[in-house]
A and B are shown apart, each in its own frame.
Chain A
């Protein structure tokens, strides 16, 4: 029994890893295609049909580039930077419920790598250590622009983590659990959290832009002031890892948004489908629904990137500390009062 669970979870983790990589790969293509569409261009269309092989070509190009090392006394940390970024971007997917369960080979397979009861805190822990990748990489580059960019990224991430945590506290007060699986199960049908926590959702959304270093919050890679940002000195696949980590974390944070606020794998009529078409079909539709939701959020990230220009640094800090945090605290107070009154 023990062994089958290990094998089952192992296969599941490999599948999630592959899907995350595939989604991150094609998110790079989607980014370019959407940018082209918003700017009335065609976008990449040479590699494969309609540019479908473009991510592979990009990857091949990055692998083939010269491995450049700057004159730094910290070669090990220089290599460790992108590695930390990449692994933290992938770690969060362990606690995400991708679906309810499948009934295969006479046993129920739960579609989640691990269901720890502090899943929400686990996500925050991984987010908070994700900063190290950028900080260590930026510092080990031995370049003042990289260092300044790393400092910016770190202070931005720390600032927005506070507001993000406060937004989540209101949600946790409402659902009464920190387990993502239970949160997903509570949102069955159209009972999505976004209808009960619209302000919390907005704060979380804005903060997730800041946490993934996406425009309008990508001050860390502000070319006009900082050359290329924290990865100025990086080349070849080490830089590829930094870029790839950004897309992987975008995919993961879209998933978290969908799971926390947009009903996870639930869709109206899931109960009915389960009774009439069986558990498997109902849950496969559920997985498809989850992916549709998260693809929308990925699209939303790109849509915002090509619509809104970058903030100034003081604007960014003011938004985080003077607007989002008081708003999040007010949201907690209001949620508390409403919970007290309705009980």
Chain B
């Protein structure tokens, strides 16, 4: 089990680095897909089948395909690449730091809740239990997440419509 974990972690980190370092955007995207697959492998190590498979469907199957799609159509060249100013880099670093901070805070905050679930002895891998917990205890955040998705979808539609009117 531990060896599998080390192999998976090596693949995850290696492909994540290659995503950033590779010059060709398509290669980056493909490394990112591999990275997502190895993360799904980590979920499987926790015996979270549902999460692993949904992760593959959503990230590798939908988001990354759309990303590849756009990259392939855009035909990115070296000449088109803009030189980022120092200010953008600093802003990116700060934004990343804040995101990391929030993630860390979430995990620390969630620790007691996770432990209470572990003690309760229920099978939280099964979809039935997961669905009940999600729609009873976490009903409001769940609905907010769906509203968020709806907002972004409407925004996308609006953006494409605006272009149409102008032309």
Contact = CB atoms under 8 A, between A and B. Distances in A.
A90 interface: no
Contact of A118 (B33, B53, B73): B53
Contacts of B127: 117-118, 178
Contacts of B53: 118, 121-122, 124-125
A interface bracket (residues with beta carbon within 8 Å of B)? 20 to 34
Q: Which of B54, B62, B72 has the most CB of A within 10 A?
A: B72
B92 interface: no
Using C-beta atoms within 8 Å of the partner chain, give the interface range for chain B: 20 to 34
Nearest to A125: B56
Interface in A106-136: 116-118, 121-122, 124-125, 127-129, 131-132, 135-136
B49 A117 contact: yes
Given A77-B30, A151-B72, A135 B49 contact: no
B69 A154 contact: yes
B53 to A, nearest CB: 5
A131 B73 contact: no
Contacts, number: 57
- Secondary structure of the B side of the interface? helix
Nearest to A130: B61
A147 interface: yes
Contacts of A77: 30
Given A117-B126, A136-B30, A154-B69, A129 B49 contact: no
26 contacts: A116-B49, A117-B127, A118-B49, A118-B50, A121-B54, A121-B57, A124-B53, A124-B61, A125-B56, A125-B57, A125-B60, A127-B61, A128-B56, A129-B56, A132-B33, A132-B65, A135-B72, A139-B26, A139-B72, A147-B72, A154-B65, A154-B68, A158-B62, A158-B66, A161-B61, A178-B127
Given A124-B61, A128-B57, A136-B30, 9 more contacts: A77-B30, A124-B57, A125-B57, A131-B61, A132-B33, A135-B68, A151-B73, A154-B69, A158-B66
